[in-house]
Structure 1
Amino acid sequence: MKLETRQLEYFSMVARERHFGRAAERLNLAQPYLSQQIRKLERQLGTTLLNRTTRSVTLTDAGAHLLEEADRVLAHLDALGKEVQLIGAGLTGPLRLGFTGSTTYGIMPQIVRRTASAAPKLQLNVSGEMVTPRLVDRLLDRSIDIALLRGDTQAKGLSSSVIGSEPSILAVPSDSALDAPESITADELGEHALVGYPENSTLSKMTAEFLGRHGSRPDYSVRASETSTLMSLVAAGLGAAIVPHTATALGIPGVRFRTIDEAPRTDLTVVWRTDEETRTITRMIEIITEVVGENIDDPTADEKEQPA
């Protein structure tokens, strides 16, 4: 004996409304037709499901059991349909993301929130505060699936798309001579000690090129891989740091920000393995691109000290 989904839906509505007229109205059916379908179901099952009077409809024991099971089956079918839709749209399953430097603070949380809303079945595993070479290595050894990095990569087997261009800003100790309201020039920067990223990082190369165009070289007192560590070194008075504008999202006491004349910019690039261009990967790239597009633009020049 095979029951149809439509039969369960009809019966469930009548059983809940306890009235054929109201149930028929909600189902957008003629009442005689609905009554006929319930009678047909009872004949098919060989038992009475509803006790009918001129004023009310009540459930028999068999009807109460069928209602309970019908609701369970219908809920399962509804969930199954939604799950299949999510799979088809690339919105389910595990996915490992890697983020460069300061995007860990300003952008990554928004991407995670956006994904939780748009794709609750997508299980994200995120890693942050990595320099571009490390992210490329992790993509190649298949320990992450998508990376948001700075600059670009020509590594074989990887595909990429530049999705934003972010200006730099100068982080300075709040009690230093560099803490001034006006912007600073490259020539002035060349006269001060800096703390910086590792030598092979995109931002370190960008800083060297920027100062080099003005006849100076960065004088680093110390280097650090993580933006949070770099900002703590700035707060400790070890030097200023040229950082991406998203670093202003960090709340490090004792750090202020100063704009740079003709500030150098770095591209934000999303990268993935070419042989894994699944619908899940494609949808995640769309979400990352949306969030970056909403957050990376020409920022205002009046960023000041972070709250304690």
Structure 2
Amino acid sequence: MEFRHLAGFVAVAEELHFGRAAARLNIAQPPLSQQIRQLEHELGVQLFERSTRSVRMTSAGQAMLDPARRVLADLDVATRAALAGGRGETGRVSIGFPGASSHHALPRLTRAVRARHPGIELVLRGQTYSGEALTKVAEGELDLGFVRLPVRRDGVDVRLIEHEQLVAALPAEHRLAGEPEVSLPDLADEPFVTFPGTRGSAVRDALVHACVTAGFNPRIVQEAPDSYTILALVGAGVGVTLTVSSVQHIQAEGMVFRPLAGPARPMSFALAWRRDNPSPALRSVLAVAEEAMPTPP
């Protein structure tokens, strides 16, 4: 067993998608799949259940995840100690991000931090929804979180980094798919697919609020943990959804995006951190973030 095997296992476990995990590790997908197979063969257990549509952890994989994270964390400590002597600035900053909607902002931030402060380790926690991120920042479990505005939490500072809009995603064969824009009341009888209601998803909250404002309660027939799966379900004809404009780079088969008619429905993206967090590394990351992701007008 090599450290790269553990790193590959943790990435797949957190992303539950081999393609995204490979991109996160900056390797191709086939070598990552081979690493996981080698690890499973050496351990003699199956760590993931794979299908053409999904990846799920087995009970063995779930049991291994936290110990694997600790091993990698210990390796990182040793690496940072060596870097400290040569570069002078070290530290660890944990960042919670939602997923597809941060695909522009997060790489800009991580590239800038690594270029400016290579001794700072960024610990990235994916599928951390806005509400979860805010709570974990406030409680000290995360140093920095990508969140949706408005934020009302004592002791937490925020800075706007991006403006977005709510848009509709429809099956390509939907009766409204050919229209230039979609009026929300026309979706009143439609089944909806969206994020889970128990993890603080601001996008789900915005969907429900927009529908209620339009005069109906959305009939949510299925929940999914990330935008990739939600949009795949839309493309499969399971239902429609409202999502943020920043995920329009996802080209799920059988699905189209359409703007919403009427007044704009903004969804502002921001960074959040605890005001009394004493970490010098966090302050360095925040300074780099202001250059890499300046506050828009």
Place the TM-score, normalised by the shorter chain, in its bin: 0.5 to 0.7
**1:282 matched to 2:279:** no
* Aligned 8 A contact 1:149 1:271 in 2: yes
Decide whether aligned partners of structure 1 residues 215 and 285 sit closer, same or farther in structure 2, where only a CA change above 3 A counts: same
Aligned ranges 1:78-117 → 2 under 5 Å: 83-84=87-88, 87=89, 92-117=90-115
Decide whether aligned partners of structure 1 residues 208 and 290 sit closer, same or farther in structure 2, where only a CA change above 3 A counts: farther
* Aligned 8 A contact 1:99 1:128 in 2: yes
Decide whether aligned partners of structure 1 residues 289 and 233 sit closer, same or farther in structure 2, where only a CA change above 3 A counts: farther
Q: In structure 1, how many angstroms separate the alpha carbons of the residues matched to 2:252 and 2:281?
A: 36
Root-mean-square deviation over aligned CA pairs? 2.8
Q: Unaligned 5+ residue runs, structure 1?
A: 1-78, 298-308
**Which secondary structure does the structure 2 equivalent of 1:265 belong to?**
coil
Q: In structure 2, how many angstroms separate the alpha carbons of the residues matched to 1:230 and 1:238?
A: 9
Which of 147, 152, 166 aligns to 1:154? It is 152
Q: In structure 2, how many angstroms separate the alpha carbons of the residues matched to 1:103 and 1:286?
A: 22
* Aligned 8 A contact 2:227 2:247 in 1: yes
* Aligned 8 A contact 1:106 1:247 in 2: no
**Which secondary structure does the structure 2 equivalent of 1:207 belong to?**
helix
* Aligned 8 A contact 1:130 1:226 in 2: no
Give, as a single letter, the amino acid of the residue that structure 2 aligns with 1:266.
Answer: M
* Aligned 8 A contact 1:187 1:214 in 2: yes
Q: In the alignment, which residue of structure 2 is the partner of 1:34?
A: none
TM-score, normalised to structure 2, is 0.62
Deviations 1:11-48 (A, max 9, x none): xxxxxxxxxxxxxxxxxxxxxxxxxxxxxxxxxxxxxx
Q: In the alignment, which residue of structure 1 is the partner of 2:245?
A: 245
Give, as a single letter, the amino acid of the residue that structure 2 aligns with 1:83.
Answer: R
* Aligned 8 A contact 2:207 2:243 in 1: no
* Aligned 8 A contact 2:92 2:281 in 1: no
* Aligned 8 A contact 1:98 1:135 in 2: yes
Decide whether aligned partners of structure 1 residues 282 and 203 sit closer, same or farther in structure 2, where only a CA change above 3 A counts: same
Q: In the alignment, which residue of structure 1 is the partner of 2:235?
A: 235
Q: In structure 1, how many angstroms separate the alpha carbons of the residues matched to 2:126 and 2:105?
A: 11
How far has the Cα of 1:124 moved from its partner? Answer: 1.1
Q: In the alignment, which residue of structure 1 is the partner of 2:270?
A: 269
* Aligned 8 A contact 2:138 2:273 in 1: no
Decide whether aligned partners of structure 1 residues 197 and 159 sit closer, same or farther in structure 2, where only a CA change above 3 A counts: same
Q: In structure 2, how many angstroms separate the alpha carbons of the residues matched to 1:148 and 1:159?
A: 12
**Which secondary structure does the structure 2 equivalent of 1:257 belong to?**
strand
* Residues matched between the structures, number: 212
* Aligned 8 A contact 2:164 2:245 in 1: yes
Give, as a single letter, the amino acid of the residue that structure 2 aligns with 1:242.
Answer: L
Decide whether aligned partners of structure 1 residues 179 and 222 sit closer, same or farther in structure 2, where only a CA change above 3 A counts: same
Decide whether aligned partners of structure 1 residues 229 and 269 sit closer, same or farther in structure 2, where only a CA change above 3 A counts: same
How far has the Cα of 1:244 moved from its partner? Answer: 0.9
| % identity of equivalent residues | 19
**Which secondary structure does the structure 2 equivalent of 1:275 belong to?**
coil
Give, as a single letter, the amino acid of the residue that structure 1 aligns with 2:162.
Answer: G
Deviations 1:227-276 (A, max 9, x none): 22212211221111111111113343332211112341112121112221
* Aligned 8 A contact 1:106 1:249 in 2: no
Q: In structure 2, how many angstroms separate the alpha carbons of the residues matched to 1:186 and 1:117?
A: 45
Decide whether aligned partners of structure 1 residues 150 and 251 sit closer, same or farther in structure 2, where only a CA change above 3 A counts: same
Q: In structure 2, how many angstroms separate the alpha carbons of the residues matched to 1:209 and 1:236?
A: 25
Give, as a single letter, the amino acid of the residue that structure 2 aligns with 1:128.
Answer: G
TM-score, normalised to structure 1, is 0.60
* Aligned 8 A contact 1:104 1:129 in 2: no
How far has the Cα of 1:223 moved from its partner? Answer: 2.0
Q: In structure 1, how many angstroms separate the alpha carbons of the residues matched to 2:243 and 2:84?
A: 47
Q: Unaligned 5+ residue runs, structure 2?
A: 1-82
